[in-house]
Amino acid sequence: MTEGSERTLTTTTISSPNTTPNSLPSAHHFVSLKLTHRNYLYWRTQIIQFLHGQRLLGFIDGSRPCPAPVIAAATPNPAYKAWIEQDASILSLLIPSISEEVTYLTLGQMTSCAVWLAAETALGSSSQVRCLNLMGQF
């Protein structure tokens, strides 16, 4: 583990993927490594694996975009409400997994995809270069 990273260990159970869209209570306990300036690749790996296992990866990678808020004749779209609720649950997983030193990345971001892209843009490339350099040194 890199110096300065934070870890928590707690276990709990997750609802099955077939439950309501807002099915990530206590999911943040499965994400034990908080994002810092030095550990983006490790943090990214744990988030991707968790969301992939919950069939929610599309929310952060953009492959599951937000549906239109209304359908024909200005009828509210129930898929829109479900998407907003699920995205809020994913945000409630992401935001606590980010250490105070990089919480500025979440400011003004309204979706889990936006938070993900902000972290990737700010920390992704420098982390990958640092990781490749360290691997080369070994």
Q: What is the pLDDT of residues 27-78, one digit of tens each?
A: 555 678 899 988 999 999 999 999 999 999 999 999 999 999 999 888 999 9
Q: What is the pLDDT of residue 25?
A: 54
Q: Is the pLDDT of residue 137 over 50?
A: yes
Percent of the chain's residues with pLDDT above 70 = 69
How many domains does the chain divide into?
1
Q: Is the pLDDT of residue 19 over 50?
A: no
| In-domain check, residue 39 | yes
| In-domain check, residue 102 | yes
Of 3-12, 53-62, 118-127, the least confident: 3-12
| In-domain check, residue 15 | no
Burial of 103 (0-12, 13-18, 19+ CB in 10 A): exposed
Q: Which pTM was predicted?
A: 0.73
Look at residue 7 and give its three-state secondary structure. Answer: strand
| In-domain check, residue 6 | no
| In-domain check, residue 25 | no
Residues spanned by the domain of 78? 32-137
| In-domain check, residue 24 | no
Q: What is the pLDDT of residue 2?
A: 45
| In-domain check, residue 110 | yes
Nearest 5 degrees, angle CA 89-CA 26-CA 103? Answer: 60
| In-domain check, residue 13 | no
- Distance between alpha carbon 100 and the CA centroid of its chain, in Å? 16
Burial of 10 (0-12, 13-18, 19+ CB in 10 A): exposed
Q: What is the pLDDT of residue 73?
A: 87
H-assigned helices in the chain: 40-53, 57-61, 78-94, 112-119, 125-137
Burial of 20 (0-12, 13-18, 19+ CB in 10 A): exposed
Averaged confidence pLDDT in the chain: 80
Mean pLDDT calculated for residue range 108-121: 96
Q: What is the pLDDT of residue 18?
A: 39
Integer Cα distance of 18 and 20 in angstroms: 7
